[in-house]
Amino acid sequence: MCPASRYTDLESGRISLGCNFACIHCQNWEISQQFAEGTVCGEREIAALIDEARRRGCRNQNWVGGDPIPHIPFWLKVLLWETENTPVFFNTNGFYSTEASSLLRGVVDIYKIDFKYGSDICAEKISGVSGYWKVITRNLKAAKKQGELLIRVLVLPRHLECCLIPIVSFISRELGPETRVNLMDQYSPHWRAAELPELKKRLDPDEWEKAVKIALEAGLRNVIT
Amino acid sequence: MWRLWRPDAVRALEDPKVVSSMPRYIGILKGKLLPKFVISRQVQVEWGSDSSEDELWDIHDASLRKMEKLMRDLDSGRIHPDELGDPPKKSLLHLKARIGESIMRSCRLCERRCGADRLKGELGFCRVGREFRVHSCFDHLGEEPEVVPSFTVYGSRVRPN
């Protein structure tokens, strides 16, 4: 699941908070409801925290948001100040532009991309984005070329046919069966998920079993379950 | 302490499925290879203060090719990290930061391409403005075994009115 997208429906409609998506099942809405803005931080200050973290044994710097995409310009400045060799783990929903992709090239060591939807209709309905499939598949292919790739797939209830099947088929066919995929069963109906009938409940065990079978039948050989 | 919570994370760097999918990352953790940003910081780049964004991109793309060549040389051992001198005052990483700032004038980092002038204080869909707001950061133990412990920084945004 998207690590920390935050949105709320102040007054009317969806307002994203630090994320370019507005997922109806956002797991981090509670944080957003506190209306915390966070603290304005200097790049040098964050760089020092990251250096310290590396020295105490953290393996990487994990850029999250919301989504880290709108924060890229800040991150590039943070890196100018870092002194330790801390790999960059870019923890994103993958809905970024080709310009952003060029800036990330030569910077990001691991692209961790959520592959959420197999259809633009589902992406629009659940996360409020249009043109999802074209963008996500373009960026996944580029990420594989320009870095190392880890894909997260959160299995959504009743989205096996429309989403999971196209997702795992694409990964197997276009990115290779050896692609490392974290298939996740922990969907939980946070936030306004109950507004969509199929997202009211958690995944049932039969559906999870079927999801694993679908992933393996697509040929994937490096699946974390 | 994390070793007790996540014994799988201790073993992960030897797991063939991890090794095959992220060999470079493991090389960095073992101190044998450099993160990409460190290599980008070594590539000297010159640009004029009046260069247009298109010109900056041309310089960027040419420098990126140099960076990738340097990375291949370092990774294969043709060049030893000790042979790299002090990082230049203006590097590919500086240029990336410069272009990143320029994009904020008409933001198109995500595919919403909303065009907000963030440097003037406009806020787009994400409400991330001109300053880096951080919600929290901590040593994350809840990620994939090869990833943890992971120093996770949650970027934030401007509060809606």
Q: Which domain does B42 fall in, by range?
A: 2-120
Is A180 close to B38, i.e. CB distance below 8 A?
Answer: no
Q: Of A99, A143, A106, nearest to B70 (Cα)?
A: A106
**Assessment of whether the complete model's pTM goes beyond 0.90:** yes
Average pLDDT over residues B111-133: 95
| Residue of chain B whose alpha carbon sits nearest to that of A6 | B156
Radius of gyration, CA atoms only, chain B: 20
**Coil vs helix vs strand at B3:** helix
Look up the CATH superfamily of A6-224.
Aldolase class I (3.20.20.70)
B interface test, pick of A5, A11, A21, A37 with most B CB neighbours within 10 Å? A37
Q: Per the domain annotation, does B160 fall within a domain?
A: no
Rounded to a whole number of angstroms, the distance from the CA of B149 to the nearest CA of chain A is 5
Domain spans in chain A, listed from the N-terminal domain onward: 6-224
Contacts of A35 in chain B (CB under 8 A): 159-160
Rounded to a whole number of angstroms, the distance from the CA of B95 to the nearest CA of chain A is 9
Q: How far apart are CA B8 and CA B1, in angstroms?
A: 13
Is A16 close to B132, i.e. CB distance below 8 A?
Answer: no
Residue type, A140: L
Q: Which two tokens stand for residue A131?
A: 């043109």
Q: Per the domain annotation, does B152 fall within a domain?
A: no
| Residue of chain A whose alpha carbon sits nearest to that of B32 | A85
Q: Per the domain annotation, does B37 fall within a domain?
A: yes
Bridge partners (DSSP) of residue A112 are: A91, A150
Is B111 close to A20, i.e. CB distance below 8 A?
Answer: yes
Is A222 close to B37, i.e. CB distance below 8 A?
Answer: no
Q: Closest to A58 (Cβ–Cβ): which among B107, B108, B151?
A: B151
pLDDT tens-digit series, residues A44-83 = 999 999 999 999 999 999 999 889 999 999 999 999 999 9
Q: Which two tokens stand for residue A114?
A: 């959520």
- Structural domains counted in chain B: 1
Q: How far apart are CA B160 and CA B2, in angstroms?
A: 37
**Which residues touch A144 (CB under 8 Å, ≥6 apart)?**
A175, A176, A179
Is B135 close to A80, i.e. CB distance below 8 A?
Answer: no
Bridge partners (DSSP) of residue A91 are: A112
Provide the residue-wise pLDDT of chain A in tens; the chain has 225 residues: 333 333 333 333 444 567 898 888 887 765 554 466 788 999 999 999 999 999 999 999 999 988 999 999 999 999 999 999 999 999 999 999 999 999 999 999 999 999 999 999 999 999 999 999 999 999 999 999 999 999 999 999 999 999 999 999 999 999 999 999 999 999 999 888 988 999 999 999 999 999 999 999 999 999 999
Is B131 close to A80, i.e. CB distance below 8 A?
Answer: no
pLDDT, mean over chain B:
95
Is B155 close to A65, i.e. CB distance below 8 A?
Answer: yes
pLDDT tens-digit series, residues B10-28 = 999 999 999 999 999 999 9
Is A70 close to B128, i.e. CB distance below 8 A?
Answer: yes
Q: Closest to B155 (Cβ–Cβ): which among A71, A135, A147?
A: A71
Contacts of B34 in chain A (CB under 8 A): 85
Q: Per the domain annotation, does B97 fall within a domain?
A: yes
